[in-house]
Structure 1
Amino acid sequence: GETLAHIIQEVKDYIAAHPHEHVDFLLASGPVGVMAATNEAVDQAEVVMLILLFASISLLCFAEFRSVAAVLCIVVPLAIVAVLCNALMATLGIGLKVSTLPVVALGVGVGVDYGIYLFERMKHALADGLSLQDAFHKALQQRGTAAIFTAITMSISVGTWAFSALKFQADMGILLAFLFMVNMLGAIFVLPALAAWLVKGKKKA
């Protein structure tokens, strides 16, 4: 990916530095040209995809909870994990391509469930007059075990793909296992920290 991008950029720089009024230089087609065009399209699509993804999740969460604080408590951990996923891809040398582009969307789409489950319970507990600490403790009692069990089960299941001989499947397994597990941890640890800052609740005596 990097080699191909470097070659394409060098060609573009050469074309820009040597203009000719009667000749238009165009990049070649073929497998390399198609691959280069695909990589450029994927790079452009990533930002648009993430904006649409988090915008849609934010709108749906706002429609459910009618609270900007609730949206931030649920969405911010997801955004942090998405950044960490990109860092993991860079560390492991997993390139951004057509096969890996939807991984973050899939991981965030599944991972948002953990935050919704916990915050929904917290909201009801707060409405009953509990302090924020007690509300989160009650949410963990009612939904925490299910969230942890679901995350572990899904992470182990897709994590087995990492041993596949197909690089596409191995990359998917590593990234999805990471997203499923870390999104759960974000919901359990980051969400309540944000709630303590953003959500007004009864102070614990």
Structure 2
Amino acid sequence: DDSDDGGADGEPARYAETGADFSGGEKVYTQDELIGLFEKAGSDSLDMSVNDLVRELKRLVNYEGASYYEIPVDPKRYGKESKAELGQLISNYLVLLSGNIGEYANDPLEPTAIKTMVQLRTLGMDDSYKILDEINRYAKSRFPENVRVTTGGTMMVESSLNDLVMQSQLISLIFSIVCVFVIIAASNRSLIAGCIGIAPLSLSVLINFAVMGFVGIKLNLGTSMVASVSVGVGIDYTIHCMEAFKREYNTADNKNFLWRTFISSGKAIIINAISVGAGFAVLLFSRFNMLGDLGLLIAITMFSSALVSLTVLPALLLLIKPKFIYKTSSVSAGQDL
């Protein structure tokens, strides 16, 4: 905070007195050289901590060169007789050069707990899970038994939140499909009707998740609602199509009953799917990615639910010929559908 990094015109940067002779003489770094130090220490990023900057400065101007850019572990290498003396030397470094390290260690002289912050420049939890597994694996294989490593921060919160989303998604899907089965089975007084009714719903949900995997859309709080919407929309279309199929078949003249089913309820289902899907598709123009993904998935859900209800459901009814529809009359093998 007491340093002046220089202006944009390349004026030399001035540093406050720290009591440490970094170079054994006076050396002034221009702004370009300072940025160069950041790039060397931070690889492809300009983000860098104060400790990283101090270590980089010491490495570049150390009279022994880069060979001393390390964590001291050999007492004789540093002119000490024992590890206790080497520990005192490290404590002196911490006290004299590190400044306030309360955010990283519990004691500046003899810290017994330290904190390391890791920042990932990736989206999603895939890389976070890999880093977390690598940390736990390394700590288990390399650290002594009396050293305990714990992880925390926003990554753990996001991990718990993702697990909660996954569990709630699975529970809500199973519960909603069971409810649909009970409703359709009770209204038609047939267990077969319930099984036929949930078939297109399940297929619509699978199409929804397949699109998410193909496009690369992550399951989050926003997209987790789409599966429930898919079930809600699918049950509406399924009941409409099933009841129209049943009504048209059981008329006095049941010739061309399938065509009449498509003309009546099928036309209404298609118009509804296009209008509602187009309304949600407007969210694709949102700059908020979660809203854009939600609009895309709901639009696809509307179209897939309508398509499955008008194709898979009639095919199942014609193939299985359930009694709750075919109980009053029968269709001959050569009848015009």
TM-score (norm 2): 0.55
Most deviating of 194-203 and 93-102: 194-203
Report if the CA contact (8 A) 2:280-2:299 is conserved: yes
Query: Among 169, 172, 177, which residue is 2:294 paired with?
Result: 172
Instruction: Note the alpha carbon deviations across 1:64-119, whole angstroms, 9 max, x for none.
Output: 22223322332111111211111111111110111211111012212221111010
Report if the CA contact (8 A) 1:78-1:108 is conserved: yes
Report if the CA contact (8 A) 2:204-2:305 is conserved: yes
1:88 aligns with 2:216: no
Deviation, 1:24, is: 6.1
CA change 1:51–1:11 in 2 (3 A) is farther
1:4 aligns with 2:128: yes
Matched residue of 2:219: which SS?
coil
Matched residues in 2 for 1:174 and 1:115: separation?
22
**Percent of pairs with identical residues:** 25
Matched residues in 1 for 2:143 and 2:263: separation?
69
Q: Mind listing any 5+ residue stretches in structure 1 that lack a counterpart?
A: none
Matched residues in 2 for 1:152 and 1:64: separation?
28
Query: Among 297, 300, 312, which residue is 1:190 paired with?
Result: 312
Report the count of equivalent residues: 203
CA change 1:79–1:156 in 2 (3 A) is same
CA change 1:24–1:128 in 2 (3 A) is farther
Matched residue of 1:98: which SS?
coil
Instruction: Note the alpha carbon deviations across 1:158-193, whole angstroms, 9 max, x for none.
Output: 011111101011000000000001100001111111
Most deviating of 119-128 and 178-187: 119-128
Matched residues in 1 for 2:182 and 2:265: separation?
23
Q: Name the structure 2 match of 1:66.
A: 189
Instruction: Note the alpha carbon deviations across 1:105-161, whole angstroms, 9 max, x for none.
Output: 012212221111010122233344666x84332322221111110000011110111
1:63 maps to amino acid: A
Matched residue of 1:97: which SS?
coil
Deviation, 1:26, is: 4.1
Query: Among 209, 212, 235, which residue is 1:112 paired with?
Result: 235
Deviation, 1:13, is: 4.7
Report if the CA contact (8 A) 2:237-2:309 is conserved: yes
Matched residues in 2 for 1:151 and 1:15: separation?
54
* Superposition RMSD in Å: 2.4
Q: Mind listing any 5+ residue stretches in structure 2 that lack a counterpart?
A: 1-124
Most deviating of 171-180 and 47-56: 47-56
Matched residues in 2 for 1:75 and 1:68: separation?
11
1:114 maps to amino acid: Y
Q: Name the structure 2 match of 1:203.
A: 331
Deviation, 1:8, is: 3.1
Report if the CA contact (8 A) 1:69-1:199 is conserved: no
2:132 maps to amino acid: I
Most deviating of 116-125 and 163-172: 116-125
Most deviating of 86-95 and 122-131: 122-131
Report if the CA contact (8 A) 1:151-1:184 is conserved: yes
1:157 maps to amino acid: G
CA change 1:22–1:67 in 2 (3 A) is farther
TM-score (norm 1): 0.86
CA change 1:4–1:196 in 2 (3 A) is same
Matched residues in 1 for 2:293 and 2:130: separation?
24
Matched residues in 2 for 1:140 and 1:191: separation?
12
Matched residues in 1 for 2:195 and 2:135: separation?
44
Q: Name the structure 2 match of 1:44.
A: 167
CA change 1:5–1:199 in 2 (3 A) is farther
Matched residues in 2 for 1:135 and 1:17: separation?
71
Q: Name the structure 1 match of 2:261.
A: 139
